[in-house]
Structure 1
């Protein structure tokens, strides 16, 4: 899993993800409330931080949580930061390349990404992983700041037939210069709110899915991908002409941000 390298995820890659999720040595616990915990860890890339969030859903099966995290049609129903997602094409039934854009807290600029996604369902453990790649048809635009994802992962572990543990791990560079208070806000406000929204979305998903293409789950049924476009890897070569001007947002004050800290929002 290397930035700008398109490569099928292998068992060893998933083992590395599991270790990162389960091994807390060297991580700093910055938030803990009920079943929710958030850790941070300095990354090798300068001032960047890795962070991971973990929760337990006592009334949601691992299968449902996995479906919720995969289903792009449902994502916009519960993730208010998702602006757009486009499936560019598949590498094989468990690896694809997509484009997506995310909103931020105004006046902070929105970001976008081109990412290889890789997933694996072993029954009791399920993985959805991603890292940044390039694609000729989706260069950076002036409407978004193009970020870099070194690794992002959801690790869903079954805790019985109707309970699961979910770990979200991310190591990314949003580019630009962001205010120093933003990391504290992400780890102590945004991440816990996201876990709460994911739980609510998981509770509501079965009813919603029954009314919206209930049999469409290509992450479970590879035959549904037979007509999906195939990725031509010659279109995914690293680009040296993607340089962007550095956007300095470091002077934005927390009081300028139009985002409620209410976890129910």
Structure 2
């Protein structure tokens, strides 16, 4: 079986984004809602990290622009204050790639990084992006960062008008390390609206920025523009959270030597 998401994966992700059954509302203010999933039945060995969903009603930015913002890695340097490093590694297909992202965490928590497979689909003016963590042979965990895990993370964007949209972020991610899961779940509910507001502002400023920065270059819409090297998806495997050791957050770091603890 291919590691690449198929139509069923996108359909299921869309269904989760629009579902209300088994989701509890934790926050609702100024066009922003945060929901946490409460599974209908207990599943053995289910992740202890909650699945969270953040929904934002955007009245001044089009769905197409918000979709471009999420894809444009050059622009991310301008709007993402927590980013340490971000780059695309390789193409896997016309609508999938693998990439690296690391980010700052508040002290004494160690900074995190993730290697993820990202895939996207545009149908009937609805935009979907999904990603999950993978093992890449050339990008193992590093000693100076904690390797986090995206079990499933993504976005669903639906137009509500020519310059308005519904923007939904859904995520189940494990930051690993020695953070208690209850702390992770609580912090995520608080941080998600802040991140969404930041992305919204990025959407407001994107058209002006893009006009000055390769306005015709959008390889996520035009695959023929993509200059990334091709990679066989079979070289990747899904990164499981339980195959990574829990790192002591307060441990002293000797240096950025690569070490695969998976």
- Same fold by TM (over 0.5)? yes
Alignment of 1:44-193 (within 5 A): 45-179=46-180, 180-188=182-190, 190-193=191-194
Choose 227-236 or 16-25, whichever is displaced more.
Answer: 227-236
Tell me which residue corresponds to 2:3.
Answer: 7
Task: From the superposition, tell whether residues 223 and 134 of structure 1 become closer, same or farther in structure 2 (CA, over 3 Å).
Answer: same
Cα distance, 1:198 vs structure 2 = 1.4
Task: From the superposition, tell whether residues 14 and 59 of structure 1 become closer, same or farther in structure 2 (CA, over 3 Å).
Answer: same
2: distance between equivalents of 1:239 and 1:28? 28
1: distance between equivalents of 2:164 and 2:14? 19
2: distance between equivalents of 1:146 and 1:209? 32
1: distance between equivalents of 2:243 and 2:114? 14
Indicate which of 14, 17, 21 corresponds to 1:21. 17
Structure 1 contact 6–236 (Cα < 8 Å) conserved: no
Q: Residues 133-183 of structure 1: CA distance to partner in whole angstroms, max 9, x if unpaired? A: 111100001011111111101100010111000000001111122143443
Task: From the superposition, tell whether residues 26 and 86 of structure 1 become closer, same or farther in structure 2 (CA, over 3 Å).
Answer: same
Q: Residues 105-136 of structure 1: CA distance to partner in whole angstroms, max 9, x if unpaired? A: 22211111111100011242001110111111
Tell me which residue corresponds to 1:255.
Answer: none
SS at match of 1:19: helix
The runs of 5 or more residues in structure 2 that have no matched partner are: 251-262
Runs of 4+ in 1 over 6 A off after TM superposition: none
Q: CA RMSD in A?
A: 2.2
Query: Could you tell me the TM-score, scaled by structure 1's length?
Result: 0.85
Cα distance, 1:49 vs structure 2 = 0.7
2: distance between equivalents of 1:80 and 1:203? 16
Tell me which residue corresponds to 2:231.
Answer: 231
1: distance between equivalents of 2:109 and 2:204? 31
Structure 2 contact 49–185 (Cα < 8 Å) conserved: no
2: distance between equivalents of 1:171 and 1:118? 16
2: distance between equivalents of 1:142 and 1:130? 24
Cα distance, 1:184 vs structure 2 = 2.3
Structure 1 contact 6–133 (Cα < 8 Å) conserved: no
Cα distance, 1:233 vs structure 2 = 3.8
Tell me which residue corresponds to 1:213.
Answer: 214
SS at match of 1:178: coil
Task: From the superposition, tell whether residues 230 and 28 of structure 1 become closer, same or farther in structure 2 (CA, over 3 Å).
Answer: same
1: distance between equivalents of 2:6 and 2:238? 21
Choose 58-67 or 179-188, whichever is displaced more.
Answer: 179-188
SS at match of 2:99: strand
Q: Residues 175-197 of structure 1: CA distance to partner in whole angstroms, max 9, x if unpaired? A: 12214344323313x11111211
2: distance between equivalents of 1:40 and 1:177? 22
2: distance between equivalents of 1:103 and 1:55? 25
Cα distance, 1:6 vs structure 2 = 5.6
Structure 2 contact 24–38 (Cα < 8 Å) conserved: no
How many equivalent pairs are there?
A: 243
